[in-house]
Structure 1
Amino acid sequence: MTWKSFHRRGEVLRTVIAAADTRRDGTLPLDVDGVAETFPDALSLLGALQLRWHTRLSGRIERELMNQPMDLEQAVVTAWQQTAEELPGVRSIVDHYRDQPLDEGMAVAMAKAAAKEHVLLAVMAGRAGAHDEASAAREGARIEASARAKYRPFRQFTQPAPEPGILDRIRAALAA
């Protein structure tokens, strides 16, 4: 991969993430400009989104553990929720294709990715060791379920009404 294609791939991926965050329908935005030229198939795009999720989650966990070192599990839960808040479209895509993969290859890839994420959650929460992946994956799945149970996706933020400007005040005074 050349330096130019590397940057182009990153640019297309950012555009895909922005589209996913806007749509929040859980489907891969394969219609975004540059996707067909940059990603050979849906699994490649999904893998890039999964990697973005995992990387952001890992970094967020590290930050939360620095801020909240006494309650490791709560730090991991908070990190998962904050990452889901930052990447709601990516999270919905990952969830959708984890539950409804397009083919057997995607099913295998998503199962592996989910297991790796669960191991990460369990190990970072201090609930399991990396040497026992099966129990760590089970414990991580429990932690993810806990994070999801307390998470309210797609919060709608209301913007405060803007302060009236000088013209608005003059109009109000003239109308009175």
Structure 2
Amino acid sequence: MTRSLPSVRRGDVLRSVVEVLDRRLDGVLPQDVRGLDQAFADDLDLLGALTLRWHARLGAQLDRALDVPVADRPRAVALAWATTAEQMRGVRRLLDREAEHPRSPEVRRLLERSTAAEHGLLARAAGVPLASVNGRTLLAEGRALVRPALADRIRALVPA
């Protein structure tokens, strides 16, 4: 009699990956999460799912930013990005690290498309023209607003 493996739910595995990323904050894609190899075809598949998770959370934050007066929207959009980055520190750190040093041409293309889409999303939410230029500016403003977590501050004080 063959023993079958328990069913692995992709969403559950993805949540576990996000938890590991948030706990470690090292920007390294975890390989030791239970069910990972069953839920995702490869690292590119997992990075794609993490990118979608990031965009979904960012979209929810941007929806809230649309409630402010039009004149205040660029600042609200930058704050929405910063809030998302604070809520998803581990995922953001991984995506930034992979964008700086992509593991493959496919990952580079995935993250370039993701970043271009993010720039457009930010610019549209802020109601500004020239999506790529203004989206990049809004993203930079959002990065500047991210408050370091206590763990980040402690890490900066302790020699490596």
Query: Please, what TM-score do these two structures have when normalized by structure 1?
Result: 0.78
Q: Which runs of 5+ in 1 are unaligned?
A: 129-134, 157-176
Per-residue deviation at 1:110? 0.6
Q: Which runs of 5+ in 2 are unaligned?
A: 1-5, 152-160
Higher relative contact order (CA 8 A, sep 6+): 2
| Equivalence for 1:108 | 109
Query: Please, what TM-score do these two structures have when normalized by structure 2?
Result: 0.85
Residue type matched to 1:141 in 2? R
Count of residue correspondences: 146
CA RMSD across the alignment: 1.8
**Partner SS state of residue 27, structure 1:** coil
Counterpart among 124, 138, 153 of residue 143 in structure 1: 138
What CA distance in whole angstroms lies between the structure 2 residues aligned with 1:153 and 1:116?
Answer: 26
Question: Residues 19 and 29 of structure 1 are in contact (CA less than 8 Å); yes or no, is this contact kept in structure 2?
Answer: yes
What CA distance in whole angstroms lies between the structure 2 residues aligned with 1:150 and 1:59?
Answer: 18
Identical pairs, percent: 43
Question: Residues 79 and 145 of structure 2 are in contact (CA less than 8 Å); yes or no, is this contact kept in structure 1?
Answer: no
* Residue 49 (structure 1) aligned with residue 44 (structure 2): no
What CA distance in whole angstroms lies between the structure 2 residues aligned with 1:139 and 1:96?
Answer: 23
What CA distance in whole angstroms lies between the structure 2 residues aligned with 1:59 and 1:118?
Answer: 16
Per-residue deviation at 1:127? 1.0
Runs of 4+ in 1 over 4 A off after TM superposition: none
Larger Cα-atom Rg: 1
| Equivalence for 1:11 | 12
Per-residue deviation at 1:69? 2.7
